[in-house]
Structures are given as structure tokens and as C-alpha cells.
A and B are shown apart, each in its own frame.
Chain A
């Protein structure tokens, strides 16, 4: 759906049957048929439709309701607003309808702000007059500009289909190439393509370094920027979501990095513990390999000294001990503490045995 924001680009269209003597049900069916044909046309999604009833004032209906009215409220006419750019297409649709019924009908066009055209006819051919006069009364540049703005507000740029439609407008309204070039440039603003607008807006959004930066206050400023540069709301929202997603990813990455660092620190600690544990095993193994029956030592200190003397007494064992300490990169106090603990445990065990 193409955005049509400007209300003054709308044309009021009313159609009323003048055949008072005809069967009201037939007229009702004809008006329904007309309504069904018109609502199918593109660009009329936002249009409001009213029906005229016999002796009743016009009442608004939804397009889907048009076929579901009871016979007690029979239609005599239809009134609706259309964007000016759809004027020709709608009029052709109405002409085809008139071709099919060929009944005297009153057509009224309300071209704001000052003009009303009415025509009574039963011949579709006569509607060509409405077309000629109606198009002549529309301001060509304003019409072109409104339509172009509608495309830019929707697509952010003049797409090939938009340009093709605008070319037909230009042709119909008798605008020169220079005029439309100026109008196109005016509509697009400083950025020539949607890609450029995206690039610029993405750069602007980079000021937001964290999710909370993109609060409603800043977003209002950004929306104003988007509006100024002719970036459609949908695209601005898309880029906002993209930036938010990137910020979330970045935050997640930072969180993971922090976790990884904490994990690495934990690993380092675990490795240190593991090293001590391994050294402990190595030392235990060394002590067990070197152990010879000892007389019961009176206390742990003497037991320890005796065992260490055994270890140091043999060069081979001393070599093993030095190599193990060196391998686990233990400081002498660290090694001493651990060895003391092992030997104390061993002393306790020896006591038990």
C-alpha cells in the first residue's frame, strides 16, 4: 500500500441514481456492484465509502459490508473519497459500470477546496467530460509531488514502478521533463537512493553504544531525522531493530568474553591446584619408592626429617625430587608446605599401622 498522507489531494466522488421510477432493488444491486468494483482498485484501501438510501442521509459502510445489507435499507447512491492520482482509474471503473446499467445518474466531483463538478447522464461516453475538466482543475505539480511523496514515504525512493506511474502522471498533466526532475529531486532530498539513506541512518544510529541509548527521547530525534531525509517509518524501524539486535549481540559477546575471562581465571586456578595435586602424587610416589622401614619416630617433625633424609640420601631420589619441583614450577615455600602436609599424613598413617 502506498502512503497517501495529504488529505487535500483527495477528490470526493458521489454517484446517485436519478431513476426514481425504477425498481429500488435493482438500483441497490447496481450500487453494490459499483461499490464492489471500486474497492478492488489499488490505492483505495484507506478510502471511506458512504451509501445514499432512500429518504435517508448517507451512512458510512465498510467495503465488506456492502454486500450484506438488508433489503430494508436499499441504496440509491454511493459516495467516497479517492486520492487524486486514482481519479482517472476510478472514473474509468465508474464509466464501465455506467456502460453496464445505462441509467440516468447524477455524478458529482468535489475537488477541494473550491470546485464541484456535477453531471447528469446515462452515457459513459459523457464521463469523458468529467475527466477532462477534473484533471484540468487539479494542480499538476501538487498532484505529481503528492504522488511522488507517497512513493518515497513508502519505498524511500522512486522505484521503477513508481517512476512508471509518475511518467504517466507527467504525460497526463502536461508537465515538462525539467519540472518533474525538479520535483523528483525535491521529493528525494539530499539522498538519491534508499541505499544512501540506509547508509546515512545506520551511521547516525552508531551513536547508540548500548541498548539504553536508544530510548524514546533519542528515537524521537532519530525519527525526525528519518522524516527529514525521506526515510520511511518502516525502514527507520527496521534499522532501529537492526541496531538493537547488533547492540544485543555485542552485549552478549561482551558478556561471553567476561565469562570466558572468568573461566580462564578459574582454569588458571584449577591448573594451579592440579599442579599441586600432581606434585603431591609425584611426591607421594617418590616417597613410596624411596621408603625404607623406619624406626618409629617420636614426632612428626622427626619423621619428616627422617624421610627427607632418606630422599636426599640417594642421589637418584634427590634428582627426581628436584626435577618434579622444577616441572610443576613450585616455589620452594610452596613445595615445602605441600611436602610437609604429605609427610604429616604419612606420619599419621604410620602411627595407625
Chain B
């Protein structure tokens, strides 16, 4: 459906001379008249007074819209080859386009619009209707599309072309629901982006609403509706952010609390460790000062006393530590009966075997709570195992295993394997210990106590003697067999021997009684 277009073309380049302008007008008309369908066109000159002379500076004419394309191409080509500043005016109904340029490219946009046919009926009218629906209703709903379809048929526009025009008017999202969904998706994506940014190092905060508002406007979605969607997401984001901040704050507080607790515990441990270190230092000093004697010298006692004061060790702790170190270095003196074995230990340390033997009697009687009373088989059993072990350990330690109850037990075990007869076994036992000699015609072999051997050359198990079992030592060192059996039984009960190989007997000593 062709329609008339009014053209006005005028050369406005001030540098051009009047004659040249007139010549250009002439050539322009000639060029245009050359076009197909333009031979009958009536060209009206536009004249201007320049330097008191009237000259032709342009031309006006009317042509059918079908010719718009060829005319524009011709004008473009002319500008391309002769870029003279020119004023163009194209009037299509009430629409007027003015272009002033010397560049051919400036005509390209109008050429494209002319070629699309959107400036002329029927496409122009169809697009105007579709645009109106899209703008006023916010969508091309089925009802609007039905109306447009009727219009299309009336205007004789092909269905495919109408589709293109619909898409142009309504964007790729023709219905409100499509626009709403799209906007919702994009808003969600925006907030996902913000959440992802929150995960890493910080970014400068920016307001995303203006771009979303722009999108809503471009989509034709009511801004209030779009804002509601945005606010929903913003609220959710703010809530998440607040929750995360609270969690982080709570975690930090918890970490701080744990850290404070850990610091307090570390401090407590440090103090405990320092206290322990001081005790250890004191213990080491005790070891150092008792290395050569059971009781430190006066000088070393001075050192210990000063160290105790400086390290803040209490007197009780110091005494306990000293006792522990002494026990460790010189043997323990534990007693279940409350007996003090220190003197015995000192005597044994001094290798004063005789005095030690007598002290052993003293401590055993103390342990049995007997005061020079006769020890019987019954009372023997009251000797506490702890005390027996202490006495044995001290004797064993200082005789390097030669003396002590265990040595005596071992000797007895050896006799057990040799002598089946009880009586003979005991006699042999005493002989093995060196407590009696072999019986002879004139003697039963019992030795006086002072004839016993109080040295390390004495036989195995010779000491300590069981003088505390003897009713009298003035005549001879003789122990009642029943008491002896009771003692050995009690020793075996309290200090059972391990199942070890029986030590070789001292063959130099008699093992058999005659």
C-alpha cells in the first residue's frame, strides 16, 4: 500500500560557491530523474538570495513510498562520492525526519527503517496496535493476539511477518506471567551472585535495584510488582545475612570462651608444671646431696634448706621427698607396724653386720610388740609381711644378695630337695647357714652366738640370725625347731620364692647331720 513522501533536499555547505551549489542541484535532479518511476516526478526548486542574487540551493518533490529505497540509495551514493553538507527532510504523513550531514552513513539508519516497511501501512498500523496492547495491557494475551490476528487479516499481513512484529512489540516475554517469571529468575540470580560474593574476600557494596528497575521497565512489568519481588529476595538475603552474622558472632564468642578456658587451663597446667618442676628440682638436689651418704652433710642440709625456701617447697613436702629419695637410693623402710628401720639401714650401709643383726632383733620384737619376751611359733605369724620385706630388702641390698630372708629361704629350698626328713633337714639347714657345726660325739654342733661370722665371708643366708627366736644366747645359738619351722613357713607365706633354679649349695659346708 504505497503512500506519498515529501522530500526536501538542500545544500547547506557554506564553503560552496553559489554556482557550484546550483550545479549540484541540477545534477541532483538529473540523478533522481534517472531512477525508475521518477521520470514524471515534479521537482520544485528551493531558492535563496545570496549576494543579492537568487540561487537554487535545493529541491522538493513528492514520491511514492515504493521509491523511497532507490531514492535513498542514490542520495547515499551521491554523498559518498561528494560529501557536501546537505539538509534532508522526509515527510511521511505527520512524521518528519530531518537529517543534516555530509556523511553517506548517516542515511543508512533511515534506509534500514524504510526497508523494514515499519514506517508505512500496513506494517506500521499493525505494529502500532501491537505496541499499544503491549504498553497498556502489559502483555499480548490470547485476547489481544486474537484482535491482532483479525487486524492482520484485514491488513493482509502474512502470519510470519505478524509474528515478527508481535515479538518486536512485546519483547521475548510476551505475557505477564513470562515477564514475571523472567524477572523473578533474574532477581534470584542477582542475589545468588551477592551470596557468592559474600563467601570470599569483601567487595564494595552496590545497589542492584536500579538495574532491576530498568529491567522491569524494559520488560513492561509494573515497577511496584517488580519492587515487591525484589523486596522479597532482599528480605530473604538480609535474613540469611543476619543469621550468618549471628552464627559467626556466636561461633566467635564460643571460640573466645573456649580460648579463655583453654588459656586458664594452660595457665593452671603451667603452674602445676612449675610446681612439679620445683619439686623435681628439689628431688634432684636431694639425690645430689644423698649420693654419698644416707643423710646429707651439714653443708648440703643448708643447701636443701635454702632451696626449699626459694622453691616454695613446704617442710612436709621436703621431708617426704627426702625420704623418698633416701628410700630410692638406700632402700625402703616401709613398715606396717610403725617400726623405724632407719637405724638398721644405716648400720647395714656401714656394713656393721653384727650391730645390724642386733638391730634386726630389736625391730622384729618391736614389730611383734614384744619386749624381750619369748617368740613362739604362734607369735611369729604376727610379723607383718611389709616389715619382713623391708628387713629382707635392706639385708639383701647391702650384702648384694648374700644375706637376708630370701637367701635363707633359698638355702632351705635347696635342703628340701636333699633332705626328706624334717629334723635332719633343719639340722642341715642350720649347718648350711653356718649357724651350727656338724654334731660330734661331744657336741650337738650348736655355736655360741659370738662365734657366728659377722662379715661378708659368712655363708649364704648366714645373716640376719634368728636370735630373736632364741630363749638365750649366753650359752649357744639354738633355735627351737618348731619356731624355726614356723618362721620359715611364715617367710614362705609372706615372700614366696619364685620358681627359679635352686642356687648351688656351698659345698664347703656340711649338709648332713650325723
Contacts and interface: CB of A to CB of B under 8 A. Distances in A.
A195 B200 contact: yes
Interface of A: 1-2, 41-43, 86, 88-89, 92, 95-96, 99, 113-121, 124-126, 128-133, 136-139, 151, 154-155, 159-162, 164-165, 167-168, 171-172, 194-195, 198, 202, 232, 234-235, 237-239, 242, 282, 285-286, 314-324, 327
Contact of B97 (A116, A195, A239, A314): A116
A320 B182 contact: no
A116 B203 CA distance: 44
Interface residues of B, number: 68
Interface in B119-145: 119, 124, 127-129, 131-132, 135-136
B108 to A, nearest CB: 9
Interface string B204-224: 101110111111011110000
Interface stretch (B110-118, B249-257, B443-451, B454-462): B110-118
B298 A194 contact: no
A257 B206 CA distance: 37
Contact of B305 (A117, A119, A319): A319
A119 B132 CA distance: 17
B303 A161 contact: no
B208 A161 contact: yes
Interface string B296-314: 0111111111110110000
27 contacts: A2-B214, A42-B214, A88-B218, A96-B135, A115-B106, A119-B94, A129-B95, A132-B116, A136-B116, A139-B109, A155-B206, A161-B186, A161-B208, A161-B211, A164-B182, A165-B214, A167-B172, A168-B171, A168-B219, A198-B203, A235-B203, A238-B202, A314-B298, A314-B302, A315-B299, A319-B304, A322-B303
Contact of B310 (A41, A133, A323): A323
A122 to B, nearest CB: 10
Given A121-B94, A168-B219, A327 B307 contact: yes
A109 B309 CA distance: 102
A132 B118 contact: yes
Interface in B421-461: none
B201 interface: yes
A273 to B, nearest CB: 17
B101 A234 contact: no
B98 A115 contact: yes
B308 to A, nearest CB: 9
B204 A238 contact: yes
Contacts of A316: 298-299, 301-302, 305
A160 B95 contact: no
Interface in B279-323: 297-307, 309-310
Interface string B154-191: 00000000000001100110000000001000110110
Contacts of A321: 302, 306
B99 interface: yes
Nearest to B183: A164
Contacts of A168: 171-172, 215, 218-219
A245 to B, nearest CB: 11
B17 interface: no
A11 B193 CA distance: 33
Interface in B210-244: 210-215, 217-220
B310 A120 contact: no
A128 B131 contact: yes
A171 B124 contact: no
Contact of A117 (B95, B103, B135): B95
B128 A160 contact: no
Contacts of B127: 128, 132
B352 interface: no
Given A42-B213, A114-B106, A194 B203 contact: yes
B97 A43 contact: no
A128 B187 CA distance: 30
Given A131-B131, A132-B118, A234-B204, A160 B186 contact: yes
A2 B303 contact: no
B206 A324 contact: no
Interface string B481-511: 0000000000000000000000000000000
B302 A114 contact: no
Contact of B307 (A234, A239, A323): A323
B210 A89 contact: no
A171 B168 CA distance: 8
B306 A319 contact: yes
A323 B215 contact: no
Contacts of A322: 299, 302-303
B258 interface: no
B100 interface: yes
A261 to B, nearest CB: 22
A79 to B, nearest CB: 17
Candidate in B103, B131, B203 with the most chain A CB atoms within 10 angstroms: B131
A88 B168 CA distance: 11
Contacts of A235: 203-204
B96 interface: yes
A92 B128 contact: no
Contacts of B106: 113-115
Contacts of B218: 88-89, 165, 168
B208 A125 contact: no
A321 B303 CA distance: 8
Given A128-B128, A137-B113, A161-B215, A92 B220 contact: yes
Nearest to B296: A319
B210 A43 contact: yes
A318 B127 CA distance: 118
A115 B217 CA distance: 26
A282 B310 contact: yes
A286 B202 CA distance: 66
Nearest to B206: A155
A198 B200 CA distance: 11
